[in-house]
Structure 1
Amino acid sequence: MSQALPPTGSDGFLRRDNLLMVGKLLVVAALMFAFGYALVPIYKTICTALGINVLARSEQSVPGATSQFKANTQVDTSRTITVEFDANARGVWDFKPARRSIEVHPGELATVMYEFKNIQPRTMAAQAIASYAPKQAMAHFNKLECFCFNEYTLKPGESKQWPVVFVIDPKLPKDVKTITLSYTFFEVGGKVPAAPTAAAKGAEVRS
């Protein structure tokens, strides 16, 4: 039987050229993959150094930041918005912001604390609702974390501190320079015993 002979002449050179070309293509593909993989840390380093991406700094200090704002949020450093905080309590308790106002740039992540204390001798359930002035600011005031999302039960004398984490959309109209964020904290009935009425108190005294 005849055996196949190794390629010689032009066929051998052609096969070697093909193998060499395949090797080069594999090296180029590997280098492109490595470069693309390295772009993410390179991008984050540049943004942190230049202050382009606010979340490169802010998301490290705000554990409640949600994924919807982990995109490339731009900070408009040419504008400063004064955000005022207000608190209204419909009931016998202490409710107030830790700070009355702060100044932020649109696109900048910010946090303010609200303080609450149940000064009644009974357990209560309550919740807060937010309002904005001017009203057009509501569509541009994005809360990432807020106690107004939940209902809370507090024991007599119990104190709480809750954060409000927010970012103002850079698309906020240019003429809006001050935003007032106001919370009204009200009692939610049905989950805990209601406060005794004046008539009920009088009946207890007479008995």
Structure 2
Amino acid sequence: MSSDTNSAKSNKNNTLANNNTTVKKLLLVVLAMFGFGFLLVPLYDVFCDITGLNGKTSNTAASYNTTGIDSSRTVKVQFITRNAKGIPWQFEPVINEINVHPGEMKVVSFYAKNNASYDITGQAVPSVSPGLAANYFHKIECFCFTQQPLTAGSDVEMGLQFYVDIELPSDINTLTLSYTLYDISEKSS
């Protein structure tokens, strides 16, 4: 029986050691997942910078400093708008697309109407597709640079002044500028 007792103690010690090893491994996995989650946004930004994906545009005004207009080339710029969930605005481009020559400055307008019975402050967030083209789409003036407060039932026409850089890769013939409108009323109060 002493041999059985020693064997049971040995099995119990082995099981305890295996459990401790498993717990340590699981804790390392949890820490690694937390670290990865913490680093995900910076890693994503680096990945997007390297690959040209995502279509983030600058949120600051560019100056119109082109070296000329490439009138031998035409680029179609499309405009798309959408409302984030919960913002009862009508939000749309006045024109859906425009043809531009790289280096040529253009002005377009977007219409917004607050259909709610209360005041709302909106903020438009732009993106450009294909993502690589975001580096060549320059906004000189844009309603997306500032918050847009609208009283209940009021409407506004908002301007965008832009140009497409003459260095835009020749294989890109169409750009799509998309705006998503968010209700930031609570943040702006």
Q: TM-score, length-normalised on structure 1?
A: 0.58
Asked if 1:128 corresponds to 2:89, the answer is no
Alpha carbons 1:85, 1:101 under 8 Å: kept:
yes
Structure 2 unaligned runs (5+)? Answer: 1-60
Identity %: 35
CA distance in 1, matches of 2:122, 2:168: 32
CA 1:187 to 1:67, structure 2 compared with 1: closer, same or farther past 3 Å?
closer
CA shift, 1:192, in A, is 6.9
Larger strand fraction of residues: 2
Task: Measure how far apart 1:67 and its partner are.
Answer: 8.6
Larger radius of gyration: 1
- Give 1:87 shift: 0.4
Cα shift at 1:189? 3.7
1:74 maps to amino acid: G
Report matched runs for 1:155-194 at 5 Å: 155-190=151-186
Q: Distance in 2 between matches of 1:128 and 1:142?
A: 16
Say if 1:127 and 1:107 are closer, same or farther in 2 by CA, change over 3 A. Answer: same
Contact 2:121 2:185 in 1 (8 A): yes
> Do structure 1's residue 100 and structure 2's residue 103 form an aligned pair?
no
Structure 2 counterpart of 1:68: 63
Q: Compared with structure 1, are the counterparts of its residues 150 and 167 closer, same or farther at alpha carbon in structure 2 (3 Å cutoff)?
A: same
In the alignment, residue 94 of structure 1 is paired with which amino acid? Q
RMSD: 1.8
Distance 1:192 1:182 in 2: 23
The answer to whether the 8 A contact 1:123-1:192 is kept is no
1:153 aligns with one of 136, 149, 152: 149
- In structure 2, the residue corresponding to 1:190 is in which secondary structure? helix
1:83 is aligned to 77
CA distance in 2, matches of 1:132, 1:72: 20
Secondary structure, aligned partner of 1:136: helix
The answer on whether the counterparts of 1:125 and 1:191 sit within 8 Å (CA) in structure 2 is: no
In structure 1, stretches of 5+ residues that fail to align are 1-65, 194-207
Distance 1:191 1:129 in 2: 15
Question: Secondary structure, in 3 states, of the residue corresponding to 1:175?
Answer: coil
| d(CA) in 2 for partners of 1:67, 1:192 | 25
Structure number with greater CO (CA < 8 Å, separation at least 6) is 2
Which of residues 106, 112, 125 in structure 2 aligns to 1:110?
106
**In 1: Cα distance, 2:62 partner to 2:136 partner:** 18
Q: Aligned AA for 1:137?
A: A
Residues 136 and 164 of structure 1, relative CA distance in 2, 3 Å threshold: same
Q: Deviations over 1:10-67 (max 9, x none)?
A: xxxxxxxxxxxxxxxxxxxxxxxxxxxxxxxxxxxxxxxxxxxxxxxxxxxxxxxx89
